[in-house]
Amino acid sequence: MGDDEALGPKRNRVTPLGDIEAFPLRGAWTGNRGVIHRDREIVRFHAGNLWITCALEFKGWWREQWLPNRWTHLFFHDEAVSFAAGHRPCAACRRPAYLAYRDAWGGQPSATDMNRQLHHERIFRGTHTRRLHELPWADLPDGTFVLQDDQPALIVDGSLARWTRAGYAGRLRRPAAGTATVITPPSTVAVLRAGYPVQVDDSARP
């Protein structure tokens, strides 16, 4: 990921709540929110409503990190984390995934329409505060992140996998009834419910 391991990880890892932090957990995906760094430090939460998830490798392309006035590399443990944080698949380097996401959204929306809707759903206007929402447990598909005991947890294979900055650690019982506090934006929950095959790290499964 372009880190100098002797100096430790850089602040470019993303949590399910969308926060950008420094922790050693490696990412299956990269992505960006525009130019949000100065020198080698993150100085902004985002630079617009285009938040995408990209492949680590694409056609042999390579670009140095932290270049001035160029988009800032961010990294996600798995695709479910990137979705919870409010990102969507990139239409360039992940074209099949982008089309599958768009088709599962329904109505053939444009990228601009999806970006605008997701931005409304993930943060309060003018702040860095995450929007959370409530849904019945019975309505939540696999791949959705919720807050359980004030910690992010992933619904997978009928139960909950706790997410930590060291990876998935431990399983919890999924409630059979009641209402969950959901992290993943509502539109992406609907995409998952429609059958989008979200990538989840193997360590989350029993």
Q: pLDDT tens across 141-166, in order? A: 999 999 999 999 999 999 999 999 99
What is the spatial distance between Cα 71 and Cα 94, in angstroms, rounded to a whole number? 17
- On the question of pLDDT at 120 being above 50, the answer is yes
Taking residue 142's Cβ as centre, other Cβ atoms within 10 Å add up to 16
Confidence tier at 115 by pLDDT (50, 70, 90): very high
Q: What is the pLDDT of residue 7?
A: 65
Task: List the structure tokens of 110.
Answer: 């444009």
Sign of the alpha-carbon torsion through 130, 131, 136, 140: negative
Confidence tier at 81 by pLDDT (50, 70, 90): very high
Q: If residue 75 lies in a helix (H) or strand (E), which one and from where to where?
A: strand 74-76
Structural domain boundaries, residue 165: 5-204
In single-letter form, the type of residue at position 190 comes to A
Query: Which pTM value belongs to this model?
Result: 0.93
The length of the chain in residues reads 206
Q: What is the mean pLDDT of the chain?
A: 93
Average of per-residue pLDDT across 116-127: 90
- The domain tally of the chain equals 1
Closest C-alpha among 73, 69, 68, 87 to residue 17? 87
Q: What is the pLDDT of residue 109?
A: 97
Q: What is the pLDDT of residue 127?
A: 76
What b-and-e string marks burial along 174-202, b requiring 16 or more CB atoms within 10 Å of the CB? beeeeebebbbbbbbbbbbeeebebbbbe
- On the question of pLDDT at 114 being above 50, the answer is yes
